Copies of this chain bind each other. A is one copy, B any other.
């Protein structure tokens, strides 16, 4: 299972994980929104693995189907899709969704969403996708779904700043919180340094690691009862 893959020119995803034989092991791709760093290359992944299912917001799915993509499962807020024993429930996100076509024209592509993913053992993970602080984190995610793990963006500007993210983590009340949306501290640390160098010309995100550090400090100081689990890019961490 992969959430928000970024295959094409992704500077971070380990290259060895992007080999065709590895892509064929993926059963389900769930996408939160169409921005390049969450969805670029999805069509390529489906071409290389015709058994994969792609869960997306309904209008986004229509747009992908209009481009010839197959294996799309369209859903919308409030809906739950069950695949291989795992339940994907689409929840609101305070964000947007658009896609730039090859002529450079940007189109609205559906609506940004998050997921609460429930595994066969009943454990739930909230993958917020990019989002600002919003009341549905309390009312929908926390009160109704009660996830044990929350993965939240913490690097600001296009989603929650560190202080908002820490506040959100506390309100949601998951036992574990995982900060996300960070970028490598140095070009040489990227899985694909050349792709990272190009990205940095458009998005100056080299200092996003500082926001992660701020988030970790706030969590430690204000919310020590929550276990904050930082997963360095390309690494694997076992939670719980």
Contact = CB atoms under 8 A, between A and B. Distances in A.
Given A63-B106, A134-B139, A164-B144, A158 B75 contact: yes
A79 to B, nearest CB: 4
Those 5 A-B pairs whose CB atoms lie nearest each other, nearest first: A78-B132, A77-B132, A135-B139, A78-B160, A135-B135
A80 B165 CA distance: 13
Contacts of A108: 59, 108
Contacts of A76: 95-96, 130, 132, 157-159
A161 interface: yes
Nearest to A79: B157
A85 to B, nearest CB: 17
Contact of A144 (B81, B133, B139, B158): B133
6 contacts: A57-B96, A76-B95, A78-B159, A133-B140, A135-B140, A138-B139
A122 B75 CA distance: 37
Interface string A162-191: 001101000000000000000000000000
Contacts of A77: 94-95, 131-134, 159
A160 to B, nearest CB: 4
A192 interface: no
A90 interface: yes
A117 to B, nearest CB: 15
A12 to B, nearest CB: 21
A112 to B, nearest CB: 9
A146 to B, nearest CB: 12
Interface residues of A, number: 48
A217 interface: no
A58 interface: yes
A96 B144 contact: no
A81 B157 contact: yes
A92 B94 contact: yes
Contact of A132 (B91, B134, B156): B91
